[in-house]
Chains A and B, each alone.
Chain A
Amino acid sequence: MTQALRIAAQLLLYVPLMALIGYFSTAPKFSPVAEGEALLRLSFIHAAERKAPCRQRTPEELAKLAPNMRAAQDCPRERSPLVVELELDGKVVLRREVEPAGLKHDGNATVYHRLPVPAGRHKIAVRMRDRPGEAFNFMREETVDLAPGRVLLIDFVAGQGGFQFRG
């Protein structure tokens, strides 16, 4: 009898525990974006231009260098910060200045931004400057139809002309 009571008491403890595991293993559901929203992702890696232009070495300077180090140009390693701007329906929703990676700031600059947007027709403009100065030197503007739950990826591939819209 005592044994039976012990088993019953243990079941009273363990069955709710198992129910707890079973429930929270899949519920409540989580919504990564609100109902009726789509997602816009801006993601790219790009090496900006050098902050200062390369300079031609003079014959005197070259003579001072070891023979195996006599490169005609002296190029500073540091790259320009990358400035990116994202505009949605005429309103700037992202403006970011990204430093190049590396201790000498000579690596790639990486951009990743996630933006839930209401589904529907949107005018999207993206601009980027990868060199010293004020003006953007890459830009693209598109009008896109975004269905609920769809993702628009904006990538940048310099060899393919700049910004790519993939949805």
Chain B
Amino acid sequence: MLRYLGTLGFLLFWLLAASGIYLYIRFDTSVAGAYQSIGELEWWFGGVLRSVHRYAADAFVIVVFAHLARELLAGRFRGFRAFSWVSGVPLLWLMYASGIVGYWLVWDTRAQFSALATAEWMFAAGIGAEPMARNFLGAEQINDRLFSLFVFLHIGLPLALLAGMWVHVQRLGQPATVMPRRLALGVIALLVALALVLPVKSEAPWDPGAVPQTVAIDWFMLFAHPLMYATSPAALWALVLGTTLLLAGLPWLTRRQPLPAAVVNLDNCNGCGRCIADCPYEALTRRPDKRALVLADRCASCGICSGACPSATPFRRVTELVSGIDLPDFTVHDLRRQLQSALDMRAETVVFRCEHAAQPAKGGEISLRCLAMLPPSFVEFALRRGARRVEAVGCAEGACKWRLGMELCAERFAGTREPHLRANVRAEKLDDGYAFALR
């Protein structure tokens, strides 16, 4: 489940959009009608959708922070990942802005509390020519146009959030934005079950002459208001801006020397585009002559591109094996040399192992930066030159450090993706990799 956190965020967003569309149809954008129109939702449909809308928003907050924490703890925020990390930071602001404005639409005492707390926070920073809170102080200041503004914000901000989510995944090859159907149905069923067990209710209607003694606030979305009253608006600004700057600056504050980027050898590149299709970080593009071009600042140096190159075959009768695309610090020629050493020692089983696999490489095994760095022709080469069995050991399902390694290997070894394993080699799936033998 943890590997689907980002994808789950997309699912929850679409669930929010779908439930929100129905609620918008039923919503009366007027001072007199807003509260009543929400109260009139039939419990078995509109009421359930309203509850799902609320709980999906809360789940969205949890999923986003879990996603952030997971990437942070795994160190996946610097170097070639900096764009995805930094583009995620404004999404936190948009998520909260979208959610908080949604609460105001209900126009109950919770809306009153949240709107005034937000206005007081904005006023403390001098935002606006006059205190925004004055708009909420008396019935005479409020008219139906305010609700048009709220609706505009509650639709516009999520649209901006969606645009930001699109930008957020732009540097990912084959981004996973669609959940597997069974998982998606499970999440939706659980949210509907929660909506039926604990239906969402409005607080008392908004009253400008009253301050609620207690408010049942949503701590996921509105936690900043109590925090502000417990400290001060300035302290909350310092916390929010400080956290934003820290998150945005993290890739540069913890900068490390990157591995050397992949290099294209134009004499050996035929412009087939397989490396471009397989790159997990959109670090490859085409030159005007269709041959590959590496965008060095985006390159993860995972070697998946060299594993996809048709010229990276050990059967080539050249002394120096130069691939169309190669890692300068770990070339396909190095790989062939290591394999040849193992074969010269008459190894019966040759093991290729990803350096990020659960177990480290033992003596005699060939360590790879990613299992998908292994061109399938190397397996056949080893078997035809004396090895009885070849094993390729990678990461556990969904745990690839470079996102797509195991999926690409599965397709290449199954013969559904180029470069594929030839039919004279039989592949057997193991828990964390494959075993091969000649047919």
Which residues of A in the span 20-64 have a Cβ within 8 Å of any Cβ on B?
A: 21-22, 24-27, 29-33, 35, 38-39, 41, 43, 45
Q: Within the assembled complex, what's the spacing in Å between the Cα atoms of A155 and B137?
A: 10
Q: Within the assembled complex, what's the spacing in Å between the Cα atoms of A25 and B197?
A: 13
8 contacts between A and B (CB under 8 A): A21-B62, A22-B197, A32-B215, A43-B137, A112-B131, A149-B213, A150-B210, A151-B210
Q: Are the C-beta atoms of A29 and B134 separated by less than 8 Å?
A: no
Q: Are the C-beta atoms of A29 and B211 separated by less than 8 Å?
A: no
Q: Is A124 an interface residue (CB 8 A)?
A: no
How far does the Cβ of A3 sit from chain B's closest Cβ, in whole Å? Answer: 11
Set of chain A residues within 8 Å of B1, measured between Cβ atoms: 10, 13
Q: Is A118 an interface residue (CB 8 A)?
A: no
Which of B186, B191, B209 is in CB contact (< 8 Å) with A150? B209
Stretch from B51-59, B149-157, B419-427 at the A interface = B51-59
Q: Are the C-beta atoms of B213 and A45 separated by less than 8 Å?
A: no
We find that the number of chain A residues with CB closer than 8 angstroms to chain B is 37
- The 0/1 profile, CB within 8 Å of B marked 1, for residues 114-135 of chain A is 1000000000000000000000
Q: Within the assembled complex, what's the spacing in Å between the Cα atoms of A166 and B217?
A: 28
Q: Are the C-beta atoms of B226 and A43 separated by less than 8 Å?
A: no
Set of chain A residues within 8 Å of B210, measured between Cβ atoms: 149-151
Q: Are the C-beta atoms of A43 and B131 separated by less than 8 Å?
A: yes
Q: Are the C-beta atoms of B54 and A32 separated by less than 8 Å?
A: no
Q: Are the C-beta atoms of A21 and B137 separated by less than 8 Å?
A: no
How far does the Cβ of B165 sit from chain A's closest Cβ, in whole Å? Answer: 21
Set of chain B residues within 8 Å of A45, measured between Cβ atoms: 130-131, 134
Q: Is B198 an interface residue (CB 8 A)?
A: yes
Nearest chain A residue, comparing its CB with the CB of B203? A26
- The 0/1 profile, CB within 8 Å of B marked 1, for residues 87-119 of chain A is 000000000000001000001101010100000
Q: Are the C-beta atoms of A31 and B209 separated by less than 8 Å?
A: no
Q: Within the assembled complex, what's the spacing in Å between the Cα atoms of A27 and B215?
A: 9
How far does the Cβ of A13 sit from chain B's closest Cβ, in whole Å? Answer: 7
Set of chain B residues within 8 Å of A30, measured between Cβ atoms: 214-215, 217, 225-226
Query: A29-B215, A32-B113, A153-B137 known; A112 and B123 CB under 8 Å?
Result: yes
Q: Is A5 an interface residue (CB 8 A)?
A: no
Set of chain B residues within 8 Å of A14, measured between Cβ atoms: 186-187, 190
Which of A25, A31, A108 is in CB contact (< 8 Å) with B213? A31
Nearest chain A residue, comparing its CB with the CB of B198? A22
Q: Is B129 an interface residue (CB 8 A)?
A: yes
Set of chain A residues within 8 Å of B215, measured between Cβ atoms: 29-32
How far does the Cβ of B228 sit from chain A's closest Cβ, in whole Å? Answer: 11
Q: Are the C-beta atoms of A21 and B55 separated by less than 8 Å?
A: yes
Q: Is B229 an interface residue (CB 8 A)?
A: yes
User: Which of the listed residues B54, B194, B220 has the most CB atoms from chain A within 10 Å of its own CB?
Assistant: B194
Q: Is A1 an interface residue (CB 8 A)?
A: no
